[in-house]
Chains A and B, each alone.
Chain A
Amino acid sequence: MAYHKHATPNFRNLIVRPMWITLKAALRTIPIIGRSKFLQSHGTSKPYHGQETNLLSDAEREMYTAQAHPVIGQTYAPDRETTELFPHFERPVTVMYPYERLEEMEPWLFVPGNYNGRIGVIWETCTACKACVRICPNDCLHMETETRVNVLDMTEEGDEHHGFGVELEVGGIAARRLEGSEEAAANFQLSTAHEAPPEEYEFGEVINLTGDTISVRWNASGTVEDVEAGDVVGAEVDIVSGRIDLGRCMFCGLCMESCPFNSFFMTNEYDGMSGFTREDLWFEADRTRVLPVQHAEAVDIELAKRADQARKKAEKAAAKAAKSEA
């Protein structure tokens, strides 16, 4: 009946074996003595704790070296670690959260795109197709309105995709980039900032378009200012803004997969989603926003696609106009 080779109820197994095993486990926790061969796993001579294991593949090693990530050179063991200064002192794996974060120590657990964290949306490229709203099993997502700058309007002059955005018109909205917003956006850490990302644009109403300058009444201050044409871009009140009820979200990731426009991501953020009331868990667009600079590739792909579409449309319209003239 017993198939383990030592499993018989005798005196040795009554006291000696279990007490010796637990004593071995206890002695292994002592810094220098714990590494002696005598105490290691039975059957092998490798250390029970702190077996040096290479846990980074070559591709990862290159990637992390390029980023100067602290995990390079780490002697990893699945449950114990040491430092170079004190190689015989093993540290317990307690992560002193919130001062240390697991993503610094085991970055492969939090590779972007791999972890089901809180959602992040690049609203500038969203088109309000509501695929995410439909796919959510729990009705967590809702659409809202927001004033924002569209991706096609975010290009600079001289960019190949420039010029396909919204036209400024009287009574419409103009947006100007805030000072230092680029730097603030680049420095913004989504995972540690438990607040909304910094505002990038200030909005105002266009009053007068004639002449070289544009008169804009800024929403924030109410003053009227004349600005250069190149300083402002068009903006609109978009219905493409959303709100997620994190109280209902089960972090399944279906919304991320359903977005056809590369706009919806699951970030690696696992904290900062707390509040005292249920309403605190309704995250508006500003809390779910992923800054375009952080997913620049996705933004570029979308921008190229839409600029192409707009260009083709313009060419078709021009061809039609030429045809109807001819």
Chain B
Amino acid sequence: MILMATEDVLSIRDWVRVATDFISENTIGMSRHWEYTDSVSYFLMEFIMCVMVFGGIMTTLLVLLWMERKLLGRFMDRRGARTSLRSLWVGENGVTAGEWWNQLPFGTGVPVGMLNKFLNEVAGNDHELEVVSRVKNRSYHGVWWLLPGFFQNLADGMKFLTKEHMVPEKADRYVFEIAPFLIIATTVMCFTFIPLSPNFYSNDSEMSILFLMAVFSVAPLGVFFAGWSSNNKYTLLGGIRSAAQLTAYEIPLLVTVLSVVVLSGSFNLIEVIEFQADSGVWNIFLLPLGGVLFLVVMVAEVERIPFDMPEAEAELVEGWWTEYGGMRWGLMFASEYLRTYAACLLFAHFFLGGWEAPLEDTIPYIHYVPHILWVFLKAWFMFIFFVWFRAALHRVRTDQILEFGWRWLLPLSLVNLAMATALRLWVYDGINGEWPLLIPILITSISLALFILLSVDEDPEALEAQTRPFSVQTVDVASPGQHRE
């Protein structure tokens, strides 16, 4: 059972249990199969919790997509028109589709019109002032301006529903149809195992991490099916690259997850989080190398830049999902983001303490923030790193990706496992003990020092000795025949 070390205001599981008990008693309990009341109630509760967890994650997926769009815009030094005060107004002299405030009944919109006029005078432009005269007497966008762009992605999803689904004539039809199901089904199954708060989870099994990793790793198979069955050389290449890449990164992933499990002492994800709560230190301060490894490996597992060779648009157009149309493609595209979201949530649970508030004992009133919000905030914070990698880094070539995975990440993850084992066996004292404060501080500062040392490993003198950028090799004028030696 669960160690309830933390209280939760939203005890959703309890409420659902109460509701299903009520339903069950009043239906099954009144019938002749009354001895199944409890099990039916439990089944209903688990079912509803599954759906709620999945629903919660799917709706907050829109946040993720919105974040990516806006952050990429900022990194690329472009901002939308909506971020400027000037773009609040549209139309010249009110020439829009009809000023909406004048269409409201009983003259209720007149003050809005007056406000608009005032704002045009103040923050619009008047060329007698030293401003650029761009806006003159415009009308306001209206309430649509308030929507921040979340619903764009919903609209995109709906668009996919309207597109045609085609199966290429020579494609292997059954495999072609199965592949998206494999991918999306296993991705969705992952979310069953991810708890969102001490009382809002759908699964609390002893082996949840093991099952989670197993299910997460079925997706490469689906990708390979998709690439192979499309009867297309490009998708074949993409599928093969993807299979190789994802397989290569499974092992560092599993070893890193294993190190967290070893440190926390249990395969149960909820107990990992409880361990971090009880022992007083988030795992990232104990295993910073593990955190970085997990992040990098997950970026490769979800096939984002810099590891997005399988769907590299420069060479393979869209890679292994080229031949898919309509919602099948939409689901696979969604599965990429769902897997990214799962990766962020797992990072938050493994390394950042899950639903624990930071510095719980020192900051007053912080325990009023619901736990589920902490989980999401941490996951979204990790997603910023995913987007940042995408904006800043180039695509790594497939053989370089594989080399990186096998030659660098695998040994590092073994080192990480060794460190985790050492910490657990020799430093941690007993169940429910606390880490001595020295240990995480020591580990974190050593890691930071190593990072800084590695980052400034240039030898300035050697670089100065290089010749100036544009060096003219010969000062003789080249003439025909001169190059023949």
Contacts and interface: CB of A to CB of B under 8 A. Distances in A.
Asked if A and B form a direct contact in the complex, defined as CB atoms under 8 angstroms apart, the reply is yes
Interface of A: 2-6, 8, 10-12, 15-16, 18-19, 21-23, 25-26, 28-29, 68-75, 81, 83-86, 89, 91-92, 94, 96, 99-100, 104-105
B85 A86 contact: yes
Nearest to A98: B92
Interface of B: 71, 74-81, 83-87, 90-92, 122-123, 125, 127, 129-135, 138, 388-389, 391-393, 454-458, 463-464, 466-471
Nearest to B385: A19
Contact of A3 (B84, B132, B133, B471): B471
Contacts of B132: 70-71, 74, 81, 83, 105
Contacts of A15: 393
**Interface of B: prevailing SS:** loop
A84 B131 contact: yes
A13 to B, nearest CB: 9
Given A22-B388, A104-B134, A92 B79 contact: yes
Given A2-B466, A22-B388, A91-B84, A11 B76 contact: no
A104 B138 CA distance: 17
Contacts of B458: 6, 8, 10, 12
26 contacts: A3-B466, A3-B468, A3-B471, A5-B466, A11-B455, A12-B455, A19-B389, A23-B388, A29-B74, A29-B77, A29-B79, A69-B127, A70-B132, A70-B134, A73-B130, A74-B130, A81-B132, A84-B130, A84-B131, A85-B122, A89-B84, A92-B79, A96-B90, A96-B134, A100-B135, A104-B133
Contacts of B138: 99
A99 B455 contact: no
Contacts of A16: 455
**Interface of A: prevailing SS:** loop
Contacts of B80: 92
Nearest to A79: B77
Contacts of B86: 91, 96
Contacts of A2: 466
A295 B76 CA distance: 45
Contact of B92 (A3, A68, A84, A99): A99
Contacts of B135: 100
B392 A85 contact: no
A70 B128 CA distance: 8
Contact of B127 (A29, A68, A75, A99): A68
Nearest to A1: B466
Given A5-B463, A25-B77, A92-B81, A18 B393 contact: yes
A22 B388 CA distance: 8
A92 B83 contact: yes
A122 B91 CA distance: 33
B226 to A, nearest CB: 31
A42 to B, nearest CB: 16
A18 to B, nearest CB: 4
Interface centre among B131, B458, B463 (most CB of A within 10 A): B131
A16 B138 CA distance: 46
A16 to B, nearest CB: 5
Given A25-B75, A74-B132, A92-B81, A85 B455 contact: no
B130 A96 contact: no
A117 B389 CA distance: 44
Contacts of B466: 2-3, 5
A81 B90 CA distance: 19
Nearest to B81: A94
Contacts of B389: 19
Given A73-B129, A83-B125, 6 more contacts: A8-B463, A25-B76, A70-B134, A84-B130, A91-B85, A96-B87
